[in-house]
Amino acid sequence: MLIYLAMAFWALLGLVFNTRLSGMMNRALAPTGAMFAFLSMWTGALWGKPMWGTWWVWDARLTSELILFFLYLGFMGLTASIDDPRRADKAGGLLALVGAINVPIIYFSVRWWNTLHQGSSISVSQGASMEQTMLWAMLLMVFAFWLYSIAIALYRVRTIILDREKHAHWVALELRSGAST
């Protein structure tokens, strides 16, 4: 969800200030967000089968997470289908901004509707309701996933910049100096 909010942030910057980097950052973030959305649904189904007796339930949180996954796929499909990168970035930015409405729906779905999912295990006001070792393991993995997401997004945006600017003189110099080292 935070990756999608980052995409909405970059989309807003791109639409307001007409920055080229914004669209490139969105394109770099979307595949990682789609992968994490898919993994959360897949691992949730693996956990849900023994707990709930079914692989999938049209639960509010599951359905809104599925919508988020489709938003990621739709963003990638939309931006890939438009030949002009600037127009594709604007269209994708609009989709990212409109789709950001789904993020609070996912987050608050457990409180708003009677669902199978439990409430939050970590609260600022009440602390954590889980075992200390599980909390530290979860926080470590959250940190690891964020490092992975940032590293992959920066790698992808570098690749996108080099691809879009492949005819520029500085790219030729960069590629030449990279090949010699």
101 found inside a domain = yes
- DSSP assigned state of 125: T
pTM: 0.89
**Full residue range of the structural domain in which residue 8 is found:** 2-116
Domain-located, residue 153:
no
Is residue 83 in a domain? Answer: yes
- Give the three-class secondary structure for 24: helix
In a domain, 133, yes or no: no
Beta partners for residue 151, in sequence order: none
- Residue 123: what pLDDT? 66
Total domains in the fold of the chain: 1
In a domain, 123, yes or no: no
Asked whether 65 and 90 are in contact (CB, 8 A), the reply is: no
* 54 domain-assigned: yes
Q: Looking at the DSSP assignment, which residues form a beta bridge with residue 165?
A: none
pLDDT of residue 59: 85
Instruction: Give 94-132 pLDDT, tens digit per residue.
Output: 999 999 999 999 988 877 887 776 676 776 667 777 888
* Distance (Å) of CA 129 to CA 52, 119, 122, 133: 22, 10, 6, 12
Domain-located, residue 134: no
**In this predicted model, what pLDDT tens digit does every residue of 132-165 receive, in sequence order?**
898 899 999 999 999 999 999 999 999 999 999 9
Any domain includes 85: yes
